[in-house]
Structure 1
Amino acid sequence: MKQRGRHRRRRRGRVLRGALAGAALALTAAATMISASQATVAGDPGALKPLTSAAETGRLRLTEHPAAPASDRLAAALGRPVGVATVLADADRTLRDRARCTARERAALPVSPAATRAYCWDGADTAGWRPGAVTTSGDADDDGRWGAHRVILSAWSREAPAGRDPDRGTPAADGPARVAFVDAGDPERLAYTWVLLAVPSHDGRDLRGLGSPVTGMVWYQDKLLVTAGRADRTALYVYDVDRIRRTAPGAVVGAAGGRSAHGCRYVMTPVASYRPAGGGGAPRPGSVSLDRSTAPDSLAVSDWVPSDGDGRTRLWRYPFSSDPARAGLLDTDAAGHVRAGEAYESKVTGVQSVLSYRAAWYLGRPAGTGEGHGALWRQDTGGAAPTRCGTDRTRRCWSGPAASLSHWTATGEVWSQSSRTLFAVPLASLAEPGD
């Protein structure tokens, strides 16, 4: 009896050891898969690689196109234009301050660096809409104001139908895009109203809603530059903030019908656009921001490379025109071409937000499926460093689905938004290579 008991214990021991070994192998395999899928984030991407050949930089060229005469006529049919001050005076909604944000909304904030200011959008007002790019009057003018106003612009797009992912190059159906014009003069009460972004119809006879996610947006002088989706042959649309038109909620956009204003009180129509000169396979702006540390001021750009791909993310910049007659437009040659001033390659993939300042480029990479926080890398030609969470040195400290970065030079703040949370952090708190 004792002998048989020992045999049973030995068999149970062998079974238990086998089960533990199998579990260990499964965990190892899972860890390997996770490590492989996050290799770019977990590993050091190293220094930026300059792109210097004419073949490489030539593919980044854009061609400027003025608005079609038919589009101008349609815009004029919408009525007399108004400016930013009129729109702000009509603000009919408010954001909640950090104290009134829910725990889930506050969880979308970066772990490190800590947000110095944070506000939350109303869930009912943004239901079915996807947050996009952010820009401010700190981009528009170097004193940080537009006239007497401090302003934040926040873009939102209709969510893509199931199975259609705009970040992976598939169109987001025909959903519109809108921009919240936020009066940020009183930090205790941020009030806003919506402005619909319209574009010409394909035949130029009507206007329709911008049917793509706004992944990049920069307000420079009196112009608002907005990225277009991959299904659009245009790379950037240009709007004039002094040419905003009123439209009653639910009213159609365009003289011949068009799409509804989707509850927006105002609508903007483009005054110009930029198209890739290199054809359908040319790199396209995925995220953009303004860099005031260059001479002249420049538009910093990143393209989009899937996080699970083997490609390199391209970073480049376009100089703005210094001609007063071309305020807010990019610098072009006699043929209307815009050429990249400098360009780089980065090993960081899945980039959805870009910022450049002096020699540094800041690249935001969102969290993967089921993860809470993303990563923010600072790169230059000498090396790279991520933001970190305290002493454990983990690199996933940035907000999860953060969209775009905007540097308010006058205050030293960097603005972004994550889900329904709009926030600011000091630029000085972001990582330095070698930290």
Structure 2
Amino acid sequence: MTKHRGRHRRRKRGRALRGVLAGTALALTAAATMISASQATVDHDPGALKPLTSRAELTTLRLSEELVPERSLDRLAEKLGAPVGVGAVLDDADRTLRDSAHCTAAERAALPVAPAATRAYCWDAADTRGLRSGALTTSGDADDDGRWGEQRVVLSAWSGDGRSSRVAFVDTDRLRYTWVRLAVPTDDGRDYRALRSAVSGMVWYQDKLLVTARDGLYVYDMHRVQRATGADGSRFVLPAVGVYRTAGQRPVGLSLDRGTSPDSLVARGDDRLWRYAFSTDPGRTGLLATGNATEAYATKADGPGGVLSYGSRWYLTQSAEERGMLWRQSASGAEATRCGSDETRLCWSKETVSLSYWEETGEVWSQSGRTLFSLPLNTIDRSLG
């Protein structure tokens, strides 16, 4: 069922997940392992965030917007056929996620030690062979009632060397999914080419999907999903309708923050954290208000990783060989999740490039390798020390 544009701003609170997502908490606490010397190099306190205020620093974060003309999009749509929308994609879902009971020991080992995941699912090994998991986002980002139409949806990005980037559209009630290829218009505007880039950041806001790539931050219109036959087994394609180009600093990690007014797009790149305000113009749904950062900080949290912000709290993940870390940073200091009474802080997943907060349910979603999982944000806050 296609989402009606008028429902994007509707507030609905207190709904519990139904179906499979209403299951009881998983018994997924893994025993802490010996931490290698190489992992210990990430076990340091990044301290407080440093606000960035100089014009020179903020200029490097500025984005310029390039939208494809509507007539060009319509001409290209005629070539592929009429758009079918998200509902049709989910109705045709032809693959199945495994629940935690059917995940392998190695897949379960990708889960955080503490705090423990309350939901965990695993991707089919054959279906994802040669691919790397990347960013994810949910219908909890798209609309604050947590739904797209009547469905609850997770989008999971995957990429591989020389292969088309793709997104798994997951119907969370049935735990079934199908692939949608990402594409961008060619320079002459007469056709599409495959997007071939790692996708480490992705946010679905209102009717737009924003996706990081090597050469820009691409914008997709979720009403323009189209049927197409792909050699990679995907039966749908989603063409870009625009792109944001950077003036210097490239966003790598993305998430949505509904704790600001207006809602904002959160970005992470190198040692910088910043945000852009979303537009409140009804004619610019899902687009940014301007290309200027409304807030920016320097962080000493090392390396790439997931980013999440809710108001003044920033959550950052750091990868390591066996176990990673999850920090909560603010302008006053930093705290890390603890594994238990021994105060060990290397207890997060080995590698999570993306964090997504589903406000309606209070859950944070992420993935590591072939393992998709979620846990309540308040359990993360309780484990900080």
Structure 2 length normalisation: TM-score?
0.87
Aligned to 1:26: none
| 1:322 corresponds to which of 261, 266, 280 | 280
Q: Which amino acid aligns with 1:238?
A: V
CA RMSD of aligned residues (A): 1.7
Aligned pairs for 1:254-273 within 5 A: 262-273=232-243
For the 8 Å contact 2:274–2:297, the answer to whether it is kept is yes
Distance 2:183 2:89 in 1: 17
Instruction: Name the amino acid aligned to 1:211.
Output: R
Superposed, which structure 2 residues align to 1:117-128 within 5 Å? 117-128=119-130
CA distance 1:131–1:380, shift in 2 (3 Å) = same
Q: Secondary structure at the match of 1:123?
A: coil
**Structure 1 match to 2:23:** none
**Partner letter of residue 225 of structure 1?**
L
Q: Percent same amino acid at aligned positions?
A: 61
1:159-217 deviations in Å (ceiling 9; x for gaps)? x3xxxxxxxxxxxxx42100011001x2xx40111100001234444311111100000
Matched letter for residue 149 of structure 2:
G
Letter of the aligned partner of 1:130 in structure 2?
Answer: R
Helix, strand or coil: the match of 1:430?
helix
Which residue number corresponds to residue 18 of structure 2? none
1:175 aligned to 2:163?
yes
Shift of 1:60: 0.5
The corresponding residue for 2:221 is: 240
Could you tell me which of 323, 329, 333 is aligned with 1:379?
Answer: 329
Q: Which amino acid aligns with 2:241?
A: V
SS of residue paired to 2:158: strand
**Aligned counterpart for 1:228 among listed residues 191, 207, 213:** 213
Question: Aligned partners of 1:314 and 1:321: how far apart in 2?
Answer: 23
Structure 2 unaligned spans of 5+: 1-35
Quote the offset at 1:71 in angstroms.
Answer: 5.8
Alignment of 1:36-51 (within 5 A): 38-39=40-41, 41-51=42-52
Deviation of 1:127 after TM superposition, in Å, equals 0.3
Rounded to whole Å, the distance in 2 between the matches of 1:249 and 1:65 is 27
Does 1:399 pair with 2:336?
A: no
How many Å separate the matches in 2 of 1:285 and 1:155?
16
2:152 corresponds to 1:194: no
Of 344, 348, 360, which residue of structure 2 is paired with 1:410? 360
Partners of 2:48 and 2:154 in 1: how far apart?
33
Opposite residue 297 of structure 1, the aligned amino acid is D
Q: Any gaps of 5 or more consecutive residues in structure 1? A: 1-32, 161-173, 251-261, 306-312, 333-337
Partner of 1:288: 254
Write the distance in 2 (CA, Å) between the matches of 1:319 and 1:238.
Answer: 15
The alpha-carbon deviation at position 59 of structure 1 amounts to 1.4
Q: Alignment partner of 1:182: what SS?
A: strand
Which sits farther off after the overlay, 118-127 or 195-204? Answer: 195-204
Match of 2:65 in 1: 64
Post-superposition offset of 1:273? 0.9
Amino acid at match of 2:219: V
Give the structure 2 partner of residue 429 of structure 1. Answer: 379
Q: Distance in 2 between matches of 1:321 and 1:433?
A: 35
Any conservation in 2 of the 1:352–1:363 contact (CA below 8 Å)? yes
| Number of aligned positions between the proteins | 349
2:137 aligned residue (135, 147, 161): 135
Q: After TM superposition, where is structure 1 displaced by more than 6 Å over at least 4 residues in a row? A: none
> 1:361, CA displacement in angstroms?
0.6
**Counterpart of 2:309?**
356
**What is the CA–CA distance in structure 2 between the aligned matches of 1:354 and 1:181, rounded to whole Å?**
22
Distance 2:384 2:322 in 1: 25
Q: Is the 8 A contact 2:337 2:383 kept in 1?
A: no
Q: Distance in 1 between matches of 2:78 and 2:307?
A: 35
Q: CA deviation digits over 1:295-326, x for unaligned, max 9?
A: 000000000x3xxxxxxx10000000000110
Alpha-carbon contact 2:304-2:353 (below 8 Å) kept: no
Distance 1:102 1:397, change over 3 A: same
Task: Quote the residue 1:81 is aligned against.
Answer: 83
Q: What one-letter code is carried by the residue in structure 2 that aligns with 1:180? A: A
Greater mean alpha carbon deviation, residues 42-51 or residues 292-301 = 42-51
Shift of 1:74: 2.7
Deviations 1:320-361, CA, capped at 9 Å, x for gaps = 0000110000112xxxxx100000000011132100011111
Counterpart-to-counterpart distance in 1, 2:107 and 2:120: 10
Aligned position for 1:206: 191
| Alpha-carbon spacing, 1:433–1:100, altered in 2? closer, same or farther (3 Å) | closer
In 2, are the aligned partners of 1:199 and 1:270 still within 8 Å (CA)?
yes
- Distance in structure 1 (CA, Å) of the matches to 2:350 and 2:356: 17
Give the Å deviation of 1:72: 5.1
Task: Report the secondary structure of 2:242's partner residue.
Answer: strand
Q: Is the 8 Å Cα contact of residues 338 and 384 (structure 2) preserved in structure 1?
A: no
Does the aligned pair in 2 maintain the 1:377–1:431 contact within 8 Å? no
Richer in helix (by share): 1
What SS is found at the alignment partner of 2:341? helix
Query: Given residue 361 of structure 1, which amino acid in structure 2 is its aligned partner?
Result: W
Q: Distance in 2 between matches of 1:125 and 1:414?
A: 25
**C-alpha separation in 1, matches of 2:40 and 2:254:** 24
Please list the CA deviations of residues 369-412 of structure 1 after superposition, one character each: whole Å capped at 9, or x if unmatched.
xx221111110001101111111111111111212000000000
Q: Is the 1:84–1:241 contact (alpha carbons within 8 Å) kept by the matching residues of 2? A: yes
